[in-house]
Amino acid sequence: MIVLALVAVLVYGLDQLSKFLIISSMDIGEMFPVLGQLLQFHFVKNPGAAFSLASGSTWVFSIVATGVTTFIIWYARRIRSLSWAILFGMLLGGTLGNLTDRFFRDPGFAIGHVIDFIQVWGFPAIFNVADIFIVSSMGLFILLTIRGVGLDGRRHAGAQSAADTGEK
Q: Convert 25-54 into a string of H (helix), E (strand) and C (coil).
A: HCCCCCEEEEECECEEEEEEEECCCHHHCC
Catalytic residue (one of 27, 101, 116, 152): 116
pLDDT at 168: 45
pLDDT at residue 110, as a whole number:
78
- Tell me the three state secondary structure of residue 120: strand
CA atoms within 13 A on the CB side of 126: 20
Which one of 15, 27, 131, 164 is the catalytic residue? 131
Please confirm, yes or no, whether 116 is among the known catalytic residues: yes
pLDDT band at 163 (very low <50, low <70, confident <90, very high): very low
Residue scoring higher pLDDT (19 or 165): 19
How confident is the model over 96-150, as pLDDT tens digits? Answer: 999 999 899 998 887 889 999 999 999 989 999 999 999 999 999 999 999 999 8
- Are 19 and 128 in contact, with CB atoms under 8 Å apart? yes
Q: Give the separation between CA 97 and CA 137, rounded to whole angstroms.
A: 14
- Give the whole-angstrom CA distance, residue 128 versus residue 46: 10
pTM, 2 dp = 0.83
Please indicate whether residue 109 or residue 54 has the higher confidence score (pLDDT): 109
Q: How many CB atoms neighbour CB 62 within 10 A? A: 19
What average pLDDT does range 80-85 have in this prediction? 93
Give yes or no: 101 in active site. Answer: no
For the chain, give the percent of residues with pLDDT over 90. Answer: 61
Helix, strand, or coil here: 114? strand
Q: Identify the band that residue 37 occupies on the pLDDT scale cut at 50, 70 and 90.
A: very high
Q: When comparing pLDDT for 77 and 52, which is higher?
A: 77
Mean pLDDT of the chain: 87
Please choose, from the candidates 75, 94, 70, the residue with its C-alpha nearest in 3D space to the C-alpha of residue 151.
75
- How many other CB atoms are found less than 10 A from the CB of residue 69? 16
